[in-house]
Amino acid sequence: MAMAAARLFLCLVSSLALVTFSSCSLSLASDQRDTDRVTRLPGQTESPSVSQFSGYVTVNEPNGRTLFYWFFEAQTPPEEKPLLLWFNGEANLLFLESPAGVGFSYTNTSSDIERVNDEFVAEDAYSFLVHWLERFSEYKDTEFYISGESYAGHYVPQLAELVYERNKDKRGKAYINLKGFIVGNPVTNDSYDSKGRAEYAWSHAVVSDEVYSRIKKHCDFKISNLSDDCNAAMDFIDSQYQEIDAYNIYAPKCLLNQSSASSTNHGIFVNDQFKRRKHIFSGYDPCYSSHAEDYFNKQEVQKAFHANVGKWHICSDPVLNFYNFTVSSVLPIYSKLIKAGLRVWLYSGDADGKVPVIGSRYCVEALGLPIKTQWQPWYLDKQVAGRFVESYGMSMVTVRGAGHKAPPAEALLLINTFLRGEQLPTHR
């Protein structure tokens, strides 16, 4: 599955402890769980070694707002492993299509699409977690971590903050044993992200010295409204990425016909609020978008998923077009949750031109955390896989040669190390 416009995959290693269940509600939850079991997907081996479930969880009954999920249980005793929720290894892995209106998730109230913003997404994700853990109550006591990439750089810490605050209410419906979050190539702070995008394009020979001089002259990234001259220069950077893959500048560009929703020549960015987050959502996409849409639009696949039969898109133009960008920085949330003792990691592929590592380094620096261990390489299969620095309360990791999405082997080692609370390998 891809993470795209306002699609969210939360990678959560979750532990949610619900207060009470009646025997009736437990029975209904168990019945629904059995209904959600996926016995086999088209193209999958006859006897997959991992149990999987998929289906719908209603997050707002009056509006008929419902989110679609896909869940994989760990192969070793799943009750003893953390639960990983992934927003657009050894842990139990839960994928979520959010907000309503993307993927298989839907709402029966059309005006919901016009109300979507970061707070809206967080509230629905929280509601999803509470209800999902009623259905899968054996996970109510496991540790809970949240993860995602790209614009989930907003979704993940905001959901973590919401869980943290709701946990303070002893009268609340549920307690979630939140332990931390990890985000990859995250959209974090408009000013630092934009500045990093400009510097990355120049330092990696995407634009000329002359263009970069214009940016330095006309762009004050500390203010919310960039000048026309600055916007023109930043738009020029986008234009220079059209012949390559901006999400991995060293990867071949996909030459297959892409869906209009995932095209780099997206035509819906007509509002000023989109200027500084332009094309961030579609994620690293050499060719998987076309393959994903082909697969998820097969009727037999949709039936196997217990999904409503209909058109599945890699991203949703209506959701993106109406999305209300109201939060310019989530750094205050980082500070708050780090102070609260949560484990926080940020990782970044160093070949991503859209949400580049330079901007992420500015963001981490702005937190002003004391350094625990200095910048150093980490290793996989006796090769340098990237570099990392540990601060008190947070770690930042780079993935060498990776774009917007981390390669499977590096990602698995990184996520497992994070979940175990360990340090990445520092020797070959």
Could you give the 3-state DSSP secondary structure of residue 33?
helix
- Per-residue pLDDT at 357: 98
Q: Would you call 150 a catalytic residue per the annotation?
A: yes
| Length reported for the chain | 428
- DSSP code for 275: G
Could you give the 3-state DSSP secondary structure of residue 267? coil
Percent of the chain with pLDDT over 70: 84
Name the 3-class secondary structure at 304.
helix
Q: Which residues contact 51 (CB under 8 A, 6 or more apart)?
A: 37, 72, 73, 78
Active site residue: 150, 191, 194, 262, which one? Answer: 150
From start to end of 323-408, where are the E strands? Answer: 343-349, 371-380, 383-391, 394-399
Q: What's the DSSP call for residue 254? A: P
Q: What is the pTM of this model?
A: 0.86
Known catalytic membership, residue 404: yes
Distance CA 357, CA 360 (A): 5
Single out the residue of 329, 262, 265, 332 nearest to residue 291, CA to CA. Answer: 262
CB distance 259 to 290 below 8 Å:
yes
User: According to the model, what pLDDT value does residue 405 have?
Assistant: 87
pLDDT tens track for 72-98 = 988 878 888 888 888 754 468 888 998
Tens digits of residue pLDDT in 246-297: 999 998 888 876 544 444 444 333 344 444 344 444 444 567 778 888 999 9
Q: What is the pLDDT of residue 135?
A: 93
Q: What is the mean pLDDT of the chain?
A: 85
What is the CA angle 288-291-293, rounded to 5? 105
Cα–Cα distance measured from residue 9 to residue 1, given in angstroms and rounded to the nearest whole number = 9
Q: Which residues contact 168 (CB under 8 A, 6 or more apart)?
A: none
Active site residue 329: no
pLDDT at 264: 42
Q: Which of 352, 360, 391, 395 is catalytic?
A: 352
Classify 143 as helix, strand or coil. Answer: coil
List the structure tokens of 162: 């919401």
CA distance 47 to 358: 45
| Cβ neighbours of 368 (radius 10 Å) | 8
Show the domains of the chain with their CATH numbers: 1-186+280-420 (3.40.50.1820)
Query: With a cut of 50, which residues of the chain have pLDDT below it?
Result: 1-26, 89-90, 259-284
**Type of residue at 34:** D
Using only C-alpha atoms, the chain has a radius of gyration, in whole angstroms, of 21
**333/388 Cα distance (integer angstroms):** 22
**Token pair belonging to 362:** 């500015």
Strand intervals (E) in 131-211: 144-149, 174-176, 178-184
Cα 168 to Cα 147: distance, rounded to the nearest angstrom: 22
